[in-house]
Structure 1
Amino acid sequence: MTDLDQLAFENAPMGLALTENRIIRACNQTFLEMFGFKKSQLIGQSFRLLYGTDQEFHQIRDIGLEPLRRSLPYTDERLMRRSDGTPIWCRFRARTLTPETPLARIVLSFALIDNAAAGPKLTPRERDVLLLLSQGQTSKEMGRVLSLSPRTVEDVRARLLKKFQVKSVAVLLSRLSGQ
């Protein structure tokens, strides 16, 4: 990498990271500032540090693998965690350098959707449901993933709407995405 390439990488206006099998191998200054870490705290560490729970980290692993296997980029929006535990809503983009084994080496970008806190404090279950809502899953689908009844998922959805003082999931997701 030339000095100019390194300068561009370090000062890109979005967080950039290179991972190998979900281990952070390189990241830029914007990424460090976004997540509140020092480079020495992240390089060589699992991406698990940036998720609220082990379950979130494992659930999200397989999302987007199909486009990556076809050498296409993958984009979504996800709730992640800063070093101090505060949540941030990010626009996530990924492109694999190894389509045959997509997680072997990936270039990732992260952009904050909303610089403000993500709203009220959420329980781990509420975070799980919010993550799955952002992926467009139904209560029945979420129930299967989370080993809950669809009725329990509906109760969690209702609590989320009340906490965020909105009348629908569409408005909730729109507010969280800064729309």
Structure 2
Amino acid sequence: MNDFEQLAFEHAPMGLTLTENRIIRSCNETFAQMFGYAKRDLIGRSFRLLYGSDQEFHQIRDIGLEPLRKSLPYSDERLMRRSDGTLFWCRFRARTLTPEAPLARTVLSFALIDNSPSGPKLTPREREVLLLLSKGQTSKEIARVLGLSPRTVEDVRARLLKKFQVKNVAVLLARLSGHGTDGARP
């Protein structure tokens, strides 16, 4: 890579990282700053570092594997964790270099959706439920994935709505993604 290409990689307006089996092999300065780390503290580390729990790290692994196996890019929006524990909402994109083993070598990008303060502090359970809600899962589906009763999931949903002072999950997700209709932020 020539100097200009290296400069472009380092200062791209989104976080970029190259991974092997979910281990960070290279990343740009934007990625490191986005997550609140020095680059040297990320290289060679597992992506587990960037998730709130082992369960969340393992659940997210299989999301998007099908398009990657077909050499297609995968994209979603997700909550990620900074080094100080604060959360941020970002647009995630992935492309594999090895479709036969999609996670063996991947190129990932992360773009901030909302750079405002992260709002209310969330419990690990609230984070799990919010992540699955953002994937469009119902309370029954979330309950099955997390091994909870649907009533427990409904209670967590109600707490999330109260914490973010919104009337429904659609408004909550719209606000977290920066697309709230009234411009209010949690």
TM surpasses 0.5: yes
Percent of aligned pairs with the same amino acid: 82
> What's the Cα RMSD here?
0.7
Cα deviation code 1:69-108 (max 9, x no counterpart): 0011000011111111111111100000001100000000
Which residue in 2 is equivalent to 1:42? Answer: 42
Q: Which amino acid aligns with 1:152?
A: T
List 4+ stretches of structure 1 deviating above 4 A.
Answer: none
**Partner SS state of residue 103, structure 2:** coil
For 2:4 and 2:116, how far apart are their aligned partners in 1? Answer: 33
Give unmatched runs, 5+ long, in structure 2: 180-186
- 1:23-38 matches, within 5 Å, as 23-38=23-38
Query: In the alignment, what sits opposite 2:115?
Result: 115
Q: Give the partner amino acid of 1:93.
A: R
Deviation digits for residues 154-175 of structure 1 (CA, Å, limit 9, x no counterpart):
1110110111000010000000
Q: Which amino acid is 1:15 matched to?
A: G
Aligned residue for 2:77, secondary structure, equals strand
Letter of the aligned partner of 2:158 in structure 1? A
SS in structure 1 at match of 2:92: strand
Mapped to 2, the partners of 1:68 and 1:118 lie a distance apart of 30
Figure out how many residues of one structure are paired with residues of the other and give that number.
179
Could you tell me which runs of 5 or more consecutive residues in structure 1 were left unpaired when the two chains were aligned: none
Structure 2: which amino acid aligns with 1:90? Answer: C
Residue 97 of structure 1 is matched in structure 2 by 97
SS of the aligned residue for 2:114 comes to coil
Whether 2:73 is the aligned partner of 1:66: answer no
Distance 1:117 1:91 in 2: 17
